[in-house]
Structure 1
Amino acid sequence: MGRPETRQRFEEIYLAYYADLLAYIRRRTESHEDAADALAETFATAWRRLADVPDGHAARLWLYGVARRVLANGRRTATRRSALVERLGAQLARWAESAGPPDDDLDAVRAAFRLLDADDREVLALASWEGLTSEEVATVLGCSPGAARSRLHRARRRLARELSRAGVDVARYGVRALALVGRKA
């Protein structure tokens, strides 16, 4: 962790200003977890840049400046994440409108999917929800590609049978219906 005098200086700064920084950060965050993350990042920066930390009371002000930048970076990240979530949500909504079955059919697809045994649900989920190829499904399941293709074929057949029993037009939706189960389940 560095030379003893480096460690000692950091510990002195940490002990002297921990409470003040925690209060500063806590007043500017929404949760204790966010405050803990920002405080940890502030002191990690202080450790990395210990040679830049001024002596005495100026260290406290320097740490406030670091904490302020850490909080600003966190807000920018949250804003970008929120914007991305909104864009993706809008794209998914448009996709669902153009590709999806009506809600009644979607409920029937979910119900039919739940009627399958766990092995069938897993192989269908790997292929439809995760988009894995038969070879990739085989790797995940620990079987040969031929066995994976067979399992997938049988599971699709059983799902089609359950969908037909539920009155869902299997020819109209095909595997897309199953993909929607994973998205909205």
Structure 2
Amino acid sequence: MISPEDRFRRVYSANFEAMLAYAMRRVEQAEDASDIVAETFLVAWRRSRDLPPDDEVTLWLYGVARRVLANHHRGGARRERLGERLRHRITSLIAVDPGHDVPQRLAVRAALARLPEADREVLMLTVWEGLQPREVAEVVGLSAGAVRTRLSRARARLRELVGDDPGGGGHVLDVLTATVPKEGR
């Protein structure tokens, strides 16, 4: 008697090309076709002990591939709708921000780019994402004390790079250098 693994290998080698051709004719990107085939044979592998008889297995694989394709197309439609919502949201946020391209904002972005990556991440998570140092510590894998030290160093370095001119009308600078409320230790 042939083992389920050996039978699966035989079914795979006998049907791979047919499944790939089937998928290729039904998707826009070749990479998607290979994903469809991989998922189809994953289902077959998981159910290798329950595969239908040899004369029915190819049709069964077509049925599996058909369902995998349907899931793929539904997922693509969901991703497209999500992408459209995100594009709309981003567009509306940019349109709302009157200081989108002001020189101060560009100066802050340039200064942020000059900070070391670790300091920049701690600063952005704290100021832009509104996380407390203990929360930032969890995200980046440091102690809360190390985060506080990096945050202090990053703020000081950013002030050096941008300048600390309170009369310089850029609302972005105030946001970036705002103090974070004390948290319970």
Contact 1:134/1:149 (CA < 8 Å) preserved in 2? yes
Give CA-to-partner distance per residue, 1:103-147, whole Å, 9 cap, x none.
1333222112234355542431342455532123445363552x5
> Residue 169 of structure 2 corresponds to which residue in structure 1?
169
> Whole-Å Cα distance in 1 between the matches of residues 65 and 118 of structure 2?
50
> Whole-Å Cα distance in 2 between the matches of residues 73 and 160 of structure 1?
51
> Whole-Å Cα distance in 1 between the matches of residues 116 and 5 of structure 2?
58
Contact 1:99/1:176 (CA < 8 Å) preserved in 2? no
Contact 2:126/2:132 (CA < 8 Å) preserved in 1? yes
SS of residue in 1 equivalent to 2:3: helix
SS of residue in 2 equivalent to 1:46: helix
> Residue 73 of structure 1 corresponds to which residue in structure 2?
71
> Whole-Å Cα distance in 2 between the matches of residues 116 and 48 of structure 1?
50
> Residue 182 of structure 1 corresponds to which residue in structure 2?
none
Amino acid at match of 1:152: L
Contact 1:124/1:155 (CA < 8 Å) preserved in 2? yes
TM-score by length of 1: 0.74
> Residue 180 of structure 1 corresponds to which residue in structure 2?
none
Q: 1:59 to 1:120 in 2, by over 3 A?
A: closer
TM-score by length of 2: 0.74
Contact 1:126/1:132 (CA < 8 Å) preserved in 2? yes
Q: In the TM superposition, what are the counterparts of 1:1-185 in structure 2 within 5 Å? A: 5-50=3-48, 52-99=50-97, 101-105=99-103, 106-118=105-117, 120-128=119-127, 131-138=130-137, 140=140, 142-145=142-145, 147-164=146-163, 169-170=169-170, 172-173=171-172, 174-175=174-175
Q: 1:39 to 1:100 in 2, by over 3 A?
A: farther
Amino acid at match of 2:65: A
Q: 1:10 to 1:134 in 2, by over 3 A?
A: same
Return the offset for 1:9.
2.2
Q: 1:58 to 1:6 in 2, by over 3 A?
A: same
Q: 1:100 to 1:156 in 2, by over 3 A?
A: farther
Contact 1:100/1:176 (CA < 8 Å) preserved in 2? no
Return the offset for 1:62.
1.6
Return the offset for 1:100.
6.0
SS of residue in 1 equivalent to 2:21: helix
* Bigger helix fraction: 1
Return the offset for 1:155.
2.2
Give CA-to-partner distance per residue, 1:133-175, whole Å, 9 cap, x none.
2123445363552x533432342243244334799634x2233
Aligned length: 173
> Whole-Å Cα distance in 1 between the matches of residues 116 and 44 of structure 2?
55
> Whole-Å Cα distance in 1 between the matches of residues 137 and 71 of structure 2?
43
Q: 1:12 to 1:132 in 2, by over 3 A?
A: same
Amino acid at match of 1:41: E
